[in-house]
Amino acid sequence: MSKIICSAAIRGAKKIIDMAEESYEEALKKYGPEQEVSFPNTAYYLPIIYSILGAKVEKLGDMKDIFQECRKLLPPVVSEDIWLPYLGPALDAGMATFFAEEMFEAIRYLNEPNFYTKTEDPSEDNLWLGAADDVIFRKRGVEFVDGTAPGFAAIMGTPEDKEVASRIALELQEKNLYIFMHDQSNGKNMAELLVDNGVQVGWNTRLVPFGKSYTSAVFAIGFACRVALAFGGIKPGDYKGNLIYNKDRTFAFIMAFGPVSDEWYANAAGAINWGFPTISDWDIPEVLPTGICTYEHVVSNVPHDEIVQKAIEVRGLKVNVTKIDIPMAFGPAFEGERIRKDDLFMECGGGRTTGVEVLISREMDEVEDGKVILEGPDISDIEEGQNLPIGILVEVAGREMQSDFEPILERQFHHLINYIQGIMHIGQRNIMWIRIGKGAVEKGFSFKHIGVVLHGKLHQEFGAILDKVQVKIYTIQEKVDEVMQLALKVYEERDLRLGSMTDETEEVFYSCTLCQSFAPSHVCVITPERIGMCGAYNWLDGKASYQINPTGPNQPIQKGECLDELNGYYAGINEFVAQASRGAVTQVSCYSLMNNPMTACGCFEAIAAMLPQCNGIMVVNRDYRGMTPSGMKFTTLAGMAGGGMQTPGFMGVSKHYLTSKKLFMAEGGLKRVVWLPKMLKDELAEKLKKRCEEIGMPELFDMIATEEQGTTEEEIMSFLKEKGHPALEMETAIG
């Protein structure tokens, strides 16, 4: 490895450790060793230190040992006339850099609690988001698991020209990457240049301004470490497992713009430990031999119009982007883009006008593949602010197409239309809403482009069951009303078909092992009355997925003989799970929280947990950040329910499973539920009330406590007694 780079990395590491330790000593005098320190709302402590060393830094005093470790790792500073550094010492210096920077940032949170926004998007007066909390991490981290986001580009500094910066950011977005932004070059930073050029930044557009200094690079590396811990089954302290996992699965790289300081070299050396190379536009020494990284470690002098492609090549990232022929940029990075009032050109549906979308299957000779028609005014025919009704009718045909697949395909409209830069899609069916931004109109957006997107992407993603797709878009009220009448009839028939399915009417259930490579013993069993715990896959989704990809993560399970109707033990399910988990799990109950509950990876929408004193069950959703009557917050409970383990009394569930007839059937069903966060109870209110009526207890809804009644078992018990909750009279659920 280059002597210049190694020397600079070691010098930079020493400066950073000295700076961090000075900050630590000052904080120690000010607050004392018992002062709690942390990143906001996370169960991962300081994630790099936690994942690599297994150390839980919870108080200032805990940092002392970590600084000693930094000093042990730090090689001597290199003299001019002696050749000492090789790759190993530089990597050690880089690792020590990240430990020191993570502690420095934790102390910054203590000293300056409002330095970062601690939100998903920038605020009006603060651009810098700081470390992602666990709610953001869970929502975004899973995208690194399912391939929606293959990796991230950690930007250090910026090109000086805002147009160049915007073009590079857009090219990275089109590759579906996250862009994590840090530090500045010659007084300029990339995030501010993007905002100045009218580009939306924040987690929703994958343009994430972590921090204004180089020390914020630990938020990017820490995010990668948490992915390995949460989804990869890597244990804290298994540094080798964490580094290898990220090298093989998280396709990340450093992109450095402008002069490279010793501190940047130190951070780059640290990133190489994870297999993340550095690509720079500056004239710095290169490290071309392979070794730790997949290919080269440091590549320099790359022109701005080539730097994205070069970075992807060096990292070994295989990006498969099929061009959709529309004038706007297109990809998952734009799914979270908002069209605000000042950006709005016009809108359709959403209560402003009539809006409806529906997909139906036809006979082969009734569909002309690739046909996209528009009847009514187009964008170019109207003035700004002139809203139009819209009816989107997608007709498909295929030899393997079934009517059961219609709602699954239709549900793709939401994210596929949102993939168009400058277009915002909300809702579905006859409550859909489209907002069209001025930027899209300036680039030549036409309603026909929606048809082009739906035709192309439905073919790409569902080619195994679709042979033909045609799209008809109407913006004339009379024609939209016709589509509405057709759609309402289709919706009614569809809901009746889905609603009539039960676990007893179907002999085949479906597995989901999408996350098994990250939690090897986890097998999700999806039944007609039990949606996947992530909330994203129901029984029909599993069936469609198997038809589309017969060797994929959703496999049919012949449920076989029912061994225990109350607990939901089936011979076929036990046999399948034992085989799919490689013997780690031999029995799974479909309907019990206490007896061999279903395993989870970590992607669940909510967690169910037994409350022994109350003889009842609480369910807490991921978005609720407060304390629960179990004495644990969601982040702590997640450690009990995830990782592919079976922990009686703790189980991941989807939110809407709470309205299923099979909910906790072995424990008495909905009558056993005693506590929900208010936000979850309100979200499911209508369906929960209906379910309460079905079981003959309409008053049960008002008997379920929320945090307004208490967050301890004692407080909840008092409320339950006052209301006469049925759980108090039920047989104890804990044997």
Q: Which pLDDT value is given to residue 148?
A: 83
Q: Which pLDDT value is given to residue 80?
A: 61
Residues whose CB falls within 8 Å of the CB of residue 256, separated by 6 or more in sequence, listed in order: 156, 157, 264, 268, 278, 279, 280, 281, 282
Q: Which pLDDT value is given to residue 86?
A: 64
Q: Which pLDDT value is given to residue 82?
A: 52
Residues 233 and 84 in one domain: yes
Residues 113 and 258 in one domain: yes
pLDDT digits (tens, 9 = 90+) for 152-175: 999 999 999 999 999 999 999 988
**Could you tell me the two tokens for 450?**
């929606």
Q: What is the mean pLDDT of residues 347-368?
A: 92
CA separation, residue 47 to residues 97, 223, 506 (Å): 14, 8, 45
Q: Which pLDDT value is given to residue 730?
A: 94
For residues 600 and 228, is the Cβ–Cβ distance under 8 A? no
- Strand order from edge to edge, sheet including 298-299: 207-211, 178-182, 152-156, 253-256, 278-280, 298-299
Residue 177: inside a domain, yes or no?
yes
Q: How many other C-beta atoms are found inside a 10 Å radius of the C-beta of residue 175?
A: 23
Residues 299 and 405 in one domain: no
How far is Cα 735 from Cα 728, in angstroms, rounded to an integer? 16
pTM value surpassing 0.75: no
Domain CATH code at residue 650: 3.40.1470.10
Q: Which domain holds residue 635?
A: 508-729
Question: Highest mean pLDDT range out of 486-500, 599-613, 637-651, 697-711?
Answer: 697-711
Residue 490: inside a domain, yes or no?
no
Residue 494: inside a domain, yes or no?
no
Residues 307 and 348 in one domain: no
Q: What is the mean pLDDT of residues 427-434?
A: 86
Residue 735: inside a domain, yes or no?
no
* End position of a domain, from candidates 315, 343, 373: 315
How far is Cα 361 from Cα 409, in angstroms, rounded to an integer? 10
Residues 303 and 351 in one domain: no
Residues 148 and 95 in one domain: yes
Largest CA distance in the chain: 87
Q: What is the mean pLDDT of residues 203-218?
A: 96
* End position of a domain, from candidates 254, 289, 315: 315
Q: Which pLDDT value is given to residue 321?
A: 47
Could you tell me if residue 623 is left (phi over 0), alpha (psi between -120 and 50 degrees) or otherwise beta?
alpha
Q: Would you tell me the crossing angle of helices 162-174 and 307-315 to the nearest 10 degrees?
A: 40
Residues 307 and 238 in one domain: yes
Q: Check whether 424 has a pLDDT greater than 70.
A: yes
Angle value at C-alpha 99, between 94 and 96, nearest 5 degrees: 35
CA separation, residue 35 to residues 54, 388, 554, 735 (Å): 20, 59, 48, 41
pLDDT digits (tens, 9 = 90+) for 98-154: 999 999 999 999 999 999 998 999 998 999 999 999 989 988 988 888 778 889 999
Residue 28: inside a domain, yes or no?
yes
Q: What is the mean pLDDT of residues 304-329?
A: 82
Residues 39 and 101 in one domain: yes
Question: Highest mean pLDDT range out of 100-109, 509-518, 647-656?
Answer: 100-109
Percent over 90 (pLDDT), the chain: 71
Task: Count Cβ atoms within 10 A of the Cβ of residue 121 and give its class: 0-12 exposed, 13-18 middle, 19 or more buried.
Answer: middle
How far is Cα 618 from Cα 616, in angstroms, rounded to an integer? 7
Q: Check whether 299 has a pLDDT greater than 60.
A: yes
Residue 36: inside a domain, yes or no?
yes
How far is Cα 282 from Cα 300, in angstroms, rounded to an integer? 6
pLDDT digits (tens, 9 = 90+) for 601-620: 777 889 999 999 999 999 99
Adjacent-strand bridge partners of 153: 179, 253
Higher pLDDT, 77 or 661: 661
Residues 574 and 694 in one domain: yes
- State the pLDDT confidence band at 319, using cuts at 50, 70 and 90: low
How far is Cα 387 from Cα 347, in angstroms, rounded to an integer? 5
Residue 701: inside a domain, yes or no?
yes
Label the pairing between strands 278-280 and 253-256: parallel
Residue 327: inside a domain, yes or no?
no
Determine phi and psi for 607, rounding to 5 degrees: -130, 130
Residues 609 and 717 in one domain: yes
Q: Which pLDDT value is given to residue 2?
A: 64
* End position of a domain, from candidates 315, 346, 372: 315
Q: How many other C-beta atoms are found inside a 10 Å radius of the C-beta of residue 56?
A: 13
Which residue is listed with tokens 């991230």? 152
For residues 512 and 579, is the Cβ–Cβ distance under 8 A? no
Label the pairing between strands 650-653 and 606-611: antiparallel
Q: Which pLDDT value is given to residue 199?
A: 95
Q: Check whether 701 has a pLDDT greater than 70.
A: yes
Which residue is listed with tokens 């090789």? 86
Least confident of 90-94, 290-294, 326-330, 556-560: 290-294
Residues 348 and 382 in one domain: yes
CA separation, residue 220 to residues 131, 156, 276, 495, 535 (Å): 8, 11, 11, 44, 27
Domain CATH code at residue 363: 3.30.1650.10
Q: Which pLDDT value is given to residue 61?
A: 96
Please give the tally of structural domains in the chain.
Answer: 3
Q: What is the mean pLDDT of residues 658-664?
A: 94
Amino acid residing at 73: L
Residues 610 and 645 in one domain: yes
